[in-house]
């Protein structure tokens, strides 16, 4: 046996690895390392914790991986001093305050515009109230009194003379006149022409020619035709058996003495007597002189064109004045 291996067994060989280990030196090295660990952790005093039952079970650490306290392994971030924290807070506050002022200034602009809009609205309302008060004051003022009497100048006198043209706008009657008085046949008025009207006068009758100062009734006659054109076809509707003219319609008449002026008449009454009873009808002729009155007389054509006309259509008109421009056709 080799002399290097003594019986004291201070050292031994690991037969598998062939490494020689001095036990005394190894133990001394472990003691030195544990003492260094205790010295390094001494300055930091752990926080107070309640006592626990000591744990006698300790794991043996291997020589290659020494145990290190948990407090020495954790790297804590350095604490921030109160002064620095307060400085940072103030700086952030200043920055935030500046930005807040800018944002507040931005938000103040719309509010200022709203304020201007409200001022304008109030001004308009005030102006409207003042105007309404002025209108009320003006309405309360007494209206000017019209003159007590309006005197119109009388139209220029137009002496009675034969008619030359007649016009009724409401029923579109436009007639020219025959020369002289209407023809009389079998003691009845019978104009010579189907297309023209005539003015009737007679020595034994009080009828007058049209003018501004006619002393009595003016008689104008004209034919109607059964299915043929005639000057007074539009005065009466034989099929409906009714007058086409209405109360209030205007008749314009131009005479030899009126020149370009027209005598104006207004419809006042409508009649449809039989031919035999026309002469005795006082509602048409009256019993006394009737200055300014005018009659248009025509036959009524029955709905049956083969039947004889046995009635007359009579419209009464009253003189109103003189005009230079008749109304247009309705």
DSSP string, 292-327: TEEEEEEEEPPSSTTSPP-EEEEEEEEEEEEESSPP
> How are beta strands 184-185 and 188-189 bridged, if at all?
antiparallel
Residue 232 DSSP SS3: coil
- The residue that leads in pLDDT, 238 or 35, is 238
Q: Tens of pLDDT along 69-98?
A: 444 344 444 444 444 444 444 444 444 444
The mean per-residue pLDDT over the stretch 181-197 comes to 91
pLDDT band at 146, cuts 50/70/90?
A: very low
Q: Would you give the end-to-end CA distance of the chain in angstroms?
A: 161
Instruction: Give the CA count within 13 Å in the CB-facing half-sphere of 172.
Output: 5
Dist CA 180 CA 178 (whole Å): 6
**DSSP 8-state symbol, 274:** B
Instruction: Give the CA count within 13 Å in the CB-facing half-sphere of 90.
Output: 6
The residues near 71 (Cβ < 8 Å, ≥ 6 apart) are: 41, 44, 46
The mean per-residue pLDDT over the stretch 288-296 comes to 96
Domains of the chain: 163-323 (2.40.260.10)
- Look up residue 32 and give its two tokens: 């030195």
Q: Taking 90 as the threshold, does the pLDDT of residue 109 lie above it?
A: no
Dist CA 306 CA 309 (whole Å): 9
Q: Tens of pLDDT along 230-288?
A: 999 999 998 899 999 999 999 999 999 999 999 999 999 999 999 989 989 999 999 99
Dist CA 207 CA 214 (whole Å): 9
């Amino acid at each position: 046996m080799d002399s290097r291996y003594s019986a004291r067994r201070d050292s031994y060989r690991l037969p598998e690895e062939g490494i020689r280990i001095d036990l005394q030196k190894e133990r001394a090295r472990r003691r030195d390392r544990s003492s260094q660990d205790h010295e390094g952790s001494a300055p930091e005093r752990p926080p107070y914790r309640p006592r626990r039952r000591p744990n006698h079970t300790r794991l043996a650490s291997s020589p290659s991986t020494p145990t290190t306290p948990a407090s020495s392994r954790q790297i804590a971030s350095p604490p921030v001093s109160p002064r620095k924290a307060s400085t940072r807070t103030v700086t952030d506050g200043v920055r935030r305050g500046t930005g807040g002022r800018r944002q507040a200034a931005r938000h103040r602009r719309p509010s200022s515009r709203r304020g201007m809009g409200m001022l304008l609205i109030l001004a308009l309302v005030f102006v409207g109230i003042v105007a309404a008060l002025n209108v009320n004051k003006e309405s309360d003022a007494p209206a000017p009194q019209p003159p007590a009497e309006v005197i119109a100048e009388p139209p220029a006198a137009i002496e009675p003379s034969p008619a030359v043209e007649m016009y009724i706008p409401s029923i579109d009657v436009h007639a020219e006149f025959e020369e002289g008085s209407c023809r009389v046949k079998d003691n009845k008025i019978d104009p010579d022409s189907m297309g023209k009207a005539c003015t009737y006068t007679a020595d034994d009758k009080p009828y007058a020619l049209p003018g501004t100062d006619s002393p009595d009734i003016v008689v104008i006659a004209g034919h109607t035709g059964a299915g043929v054109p005639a000057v007074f076809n539009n005065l009466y509707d034989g099929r409906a058996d009714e007058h086409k003219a209405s109360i209030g319609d205007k008749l314009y008449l131009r005479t030899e003495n009126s020149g370009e002026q027209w005598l104006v008449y207004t419809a006042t009454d409508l009649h449809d007597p039989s031919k035999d009873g026309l002469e005795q009808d006082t509602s048409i002729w009256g019993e006394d002189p009737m200055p300014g009155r005018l009659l248009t007389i025509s036959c009524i054509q029955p709905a049956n064109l083969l039947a004889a006309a046995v009635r007359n259509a009579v419209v009464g008109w009253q003189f109103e004045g003189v005009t230079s421009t008749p109304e247009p056709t309705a």
